[in-house]
Structure 1
Amino acid sequence: MCRLDPALESYLSDPHTSSLKIVVINTVTSASEQHDQDAIALQRQITRSRDLRIGLLQAGYNIIASIPGDMYLVDRLTQLQPDMIIIDAESDARDVLEELVLVSRDAPRPIVLFTEEDNPSQLASAMAVGVSAYVVAGLQVERVKPVLEVAVARFQADQKLRTELHDTKNKLAERKTIERAKGLLMARHQLSENEAYQRLRKQAMEKNLKLVELAQRILDVADLLG
């Protein structure tokens, strides 16, 4: 499993002791690029982006960068290494979400998406990439901090569940390896199940190996010899 950034681990243990480093991804186009948009829609975008920034600053969060959702997004995030990512999207942010799949795979972190569009397809994409909070319309300055705190809590719960599932899968895989090695010893040396297990256990202790490590070595040798 991927380890979390130390600053994020500190914040998860006590949200009041650490200021998260936040990168805001802005998918809102500039006024010069919005020839086909009416003035009301443009003003709504500007107001939401402003309120988001004010809310972050008032809550004490550290905005280390505000970047566009362009072709250099992954490289910029890899260089900046934020503790949290916020997407400020007027409408379709699916391209940004697809890019974040690459970033989140190796460095999981809370992702929050603020948008004006209630799009089921985009919501599905957001859930797939691991967005912790998906906020549609009605952004108010005083809501920013509670939304982010809920997002971090959800992220923490999700990471705990993922770790537990990962550990469970590992334990099942180890048990399967040990059972295969035990079965091999039983067949080749006419041993009972308990005798095969005790032999494995004794040899593992003598070689200072974990039981699963010795079991894997036995299986590897058996495969090699045919």
Structure 2
Amino acid sequence: MANLRIVVVNTIIHAGDEDDEFLRAQAERARVLRIGLLEAGYDIIASLPPDMYLPERISQLQPDMIIVDAESDARDVLEHIVIATRDERRPIVMFTESDDTESMEAAVAAGVSAYIVAGLQSDRIKPVLNVALARFKREQKLLDELSDTKSKLAERKVIERAKGLLMERQRFTEEQAYQKLRSMAMSKNLKLSEVAQRILDVEDLLG
């Protein structure tokens, strides 16, 4: 997927003496990353600073992937990205010089799909992003399946409660209560769980 729409978040502040070796190294990292992305055919739609407006900007741009270019500890920017991707998850790749365990753990907790330490080379970027995207899709599928399972369990509980209520109020057997729910669902063109929830809602109102 070469035409990925990417937002690069650069935690490096370009300020001070231009002859500073540290700043030159930072600038070179950013240059190599940009070249690697462009050579691989990716679409860099924005390069953003890690400020308080980052969540809003990401929401407006709707990128396919977020890349964080961090020289060292980037916990502040990760907090902003967590907020920005809370409602709509996106793959996040972090290139950094920090091999600190706490930084890695913070990145993973923030939802980073790939954490790449040192050795940033332009020809490595495409395979790294491909792996990150595949991992993100797999994790997203697992999360969706987990959410679906939880939803089904919740629906089952609602149906069981409504059945129990009908058995108590109408002196139905379990099978009769189920058939009653099923009949009501079919006549109203609703899901079984929706009819069950309506019955429970009415019971709560009547009290």
Q: Normalized against structure 1, the TM-score is what? A: 0.87
1:143 aligns to 2:118 (yes or no):
no
Matches within 5 A, 1:131-170: 131-170=112-151
CA distance in 2, matches of 1:175, 1:33: 65
Unaligned runs of 5+ in 1: 1-14
CA distance in 1, matches of 2:141, 2:178: 33
Q: Deviations over 1:25-63 (max 9, x none)?
A: 11112141799xx62x33332222111111100000011
Aligned to 2:9: 25
Q: Deviations over 1:103-140 (max 9, x none)?
A: 11122111100000112222122111211100000111
On the 8 A contact 1:28/1:90 being kept in 2, the answer is yes
Counterpart amino acid of residue 53 in structure 1 = R
1:58 aligns to 2:42 (yes or no):
no
On the 8 A contact 1:104/1:129 being kept in 2, the answer is no
1:122 aligns to 2:103 (yes or no):
yes
Aligned to 1:175: 156
CA distance in 2, matches of 1:94, 1:22: 21
Report % sequence identity.
64
Deviation at 1:92, TM superposition (A): 1.4
Question: Secondary structure of 1:87's partner?
Answer: strand
On the 8 A contact 1:88/1:113 being kept in 2, the answer is yes
Per mean C-alpha deviation after superposition, the further-off stretch among 152-161 and 185-194 is: 185-194
On the 8 A contact 2:59/2:84 being kept in 1, the answer is yes
On the 8 A contact 1:86/1:111 being kept in 2, the answer is yes
Runs of at least 4 residues off by over 4 Å: none
1:70 aligns to 2:54 (yes or no):
no
CA distance in 2, matches of 1:103, 1:42: 28
Q: Deviations over 1:143-165 (max 9, x none)?
A: 00000000100110011011000
The Cα RMSD (Å) is 1.6
Matches within 5 A, 1:74-223: 74-223=55-204
Q: Normalized against structure 2, the TM-score is what? A: 0.95
